[in-house]
């Protein structure tokens, strides 16, 4: 009897008509079925190519594992999505604070360290790394203030919330870093044009050690923020900043030493390359943040989840006409058009639409949901894109 009960506990959750009306669970593949795919693939071919068979088998295994995860995600109740998101947020709250405040404290210390390194060496490459480092604490402070502003919302003044202020703060930071890079590009070009009477520049070991300490610290912060980068937009910006600083500090050390040991022009040329690289990296980040504010379509998995939740919300819903999900800052706006019986009462249609709205808005990534009720699907779209005023 004990063996039977343990077998029951080991089985996957059972789905019924109520929680799986489309019988998606019937398409789930067991681990044994997925693992047997290489043998089945080879058996179907008379003269199989070893490399081709392995490659196609791995692709099939990956497809079925991805499909299993997608089906389980769709069949998971909305309350479970909310609970898991809250648990994850609670578990990572301490790690989030360490990432944000730890990065801020480290950047303050490292900016002083790199300021010393740049002044002591006179290297333009180290001045480039110093300029990038000095602005890091200011950017961290901006992100912290933006994050606090999001939590303090006057609903009468900001009826849609202030979540987009984080994205706006990220964009301001990106342009600040690009502006500093342009100034350093001008200084680098000036030094290259003016030239130098000496073949190499003066070498000093302490500044190189100072920047090397900054490199090692940034590497540790980069690893720490990596795990949280997809959960918090603020941590993602910090992670990108640490990633960029690794490249900048590493290349800066090489070109600074190269200018003092090989040829003088390696140092200003390195500073020029670094500044162009910094500008390009932050331009790419700014473009991504602009996309979030403009409104980019949500990923396919999210659209599938919203569609499935809407389809299975109520038996009174006859069809789904339209599903839209697009970014509005760090979160999503959702628009769903459902079709109900033309004879349904106003109370019934209102209750179904409102309950669906609340359900969709409870999803972790959704900021606001709009549910529109119709009685047929042959009409023109409810909204049109305004190309002119």
Cβ-in-10-Å burial (0-12, 13-18, 19+) of 230 comes to exposed
Whole-angstrom distance, CA of residue 296 vs CA of residue 288: 10
pLDDT of residue 5: 43
User: What is the rounded average pLDDT for all residues in the chain?
Assistant: 81
Q: What is the dihedral of CA 338, 341, 343, 346, to 10 degrees?
A: -30
Whole-angstrom distance, CA of residue 326 vs CA of residue 333: 5
Q: What superfamily in CATH does domain 84-294 come from?
A: Cation efflux protein transmembrane domain (1.20.1510.10)
**Domain coordinates in residue numbering, the chain:** 27-75, 84-294, 300-374
252 Rama sector, left if φ>0, alpha if ψ -120 to 50, beta otherwise: alpha
Q: What is the 3-state secondary structure (H, E, C) of 48-106?
A: CCHHHHHHHHHHHHHHHHHHHHHHHHHHCCHHHHHHHHHHHHHHCHHHHHHHHHHHHHH
pLDDT in tens, 322-349: 999 999 888 899 999 999 999 999 999 9
Predicted structure pTM score: 0.73
Output the six-digit token pair for 225. 């923020």
pLDDT of residue 10: 37
pLDDT of residue 335: 94
SS3 call for 285:
helix
Query: What does the pLDDT profile of the chain (389 residues) look like in tens digits?
Result: 444 444 333 334 567 767 788 888 888 888 888 878 775 555 555 555 555 556 677 888 888 888 888 888 888 888 877 777 776 666 667 787 888 888 888 888 888 888 888 888 877 788 888 877 887 787 778 777 777 777 777 778 877 777 788 788 878 878 888 888 888 888 888 888 887 767 666 777 888 888 888 889 989 988 888 877 777 777 887 888 888 888 888 888 888 888 888 888 888 888 888 888 888 888 988 898 899 988 999 999 999 999 999 999 999 999 999 999 999 888 899 999 999 999 999 999 999 999 999 999 998 889 999 999 998 888 777 666 665 65
Looking at the chain, the number of H-run helices and the number of E-run strands are: 13, 3
Domain 300-374 sits in CATH at 3.30.70.1350
């Amino acid at each position: 009897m004990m063996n039977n009960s343990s077998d029951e506990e080991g089985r996957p959750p059972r789905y019924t008509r109520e929680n799986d009306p489309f019988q998606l669970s019937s398409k789930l593949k067991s681990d044994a079925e997925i693992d047997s795919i290489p043998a089945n693939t080879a058996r179907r071919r008379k003269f199989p190519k070893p490399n081709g068979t392995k490659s196609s088998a791995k692709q099939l295994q990956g497809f079925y594992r991805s499909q299993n995860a997608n089906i389980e995600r769709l069949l998971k109740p909305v309350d479970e999505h909310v609970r898991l998101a809250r648990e994850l947020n609670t578990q990572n709250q301490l790690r989030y604070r360490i990432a944000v405040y730890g990065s801020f404290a480290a950047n303050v210390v490292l900016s002083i360290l790199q300021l010393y390194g740049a002044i002591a060496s006179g290297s333009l490459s180290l001045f480039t790394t110093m300029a990038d480092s000095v602005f890091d604490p200011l950017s961290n402070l901006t992100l912290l203030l933006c994050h606090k502003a999001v939590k303090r919302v006057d609903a009468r003044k900001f009826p849609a919330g202030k979540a987009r202020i984080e994205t706006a703060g990220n964009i301001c930071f990106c342009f600040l870093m690009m502006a500093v890079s342009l100034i350093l590009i001008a200084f680098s070009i000036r030094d290259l044009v003016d030239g130098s009477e000496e073949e190499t520049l003066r070498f000093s070991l302490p500044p190189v050690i100072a920047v090397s300490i900054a490199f090692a610290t940034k590497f540790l912060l980069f690893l720490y923020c990596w795990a949280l980068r997809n959960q918090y937009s603020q941590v993602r910006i910090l992670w990108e900043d640490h990633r960029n600083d690794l490249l900048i500090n590493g290349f800066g050390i090489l070109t600074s030493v190269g200018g003092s040991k090989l040829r003088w022009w390696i140092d200003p040329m390195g500073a020029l390359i670094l500044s162009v690289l910094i500008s390009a990296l932050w331009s790419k980040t700014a473009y991504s943040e602009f996309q979030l504010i403009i409104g980019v379509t949500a990923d396919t998995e999210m659209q599938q989840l919203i569609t499935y939740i809407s389809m299975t919300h109520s038996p009174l819903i006859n069809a789904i006409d339209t599903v839209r999900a697009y970014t509005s800052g760090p979160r999503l706006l959702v628009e769903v058009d459902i079709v109900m019986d033309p004879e349904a009462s106003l109370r019934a249609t209102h209750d179904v639409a409102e309950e669906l709205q609340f359900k969709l808005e409870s999803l972790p990534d959704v900021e606001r949901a709009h549910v529109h009720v119709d009685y047929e699907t042959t009409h023109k779209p409810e909204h049109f894109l305004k190309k002119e005023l």
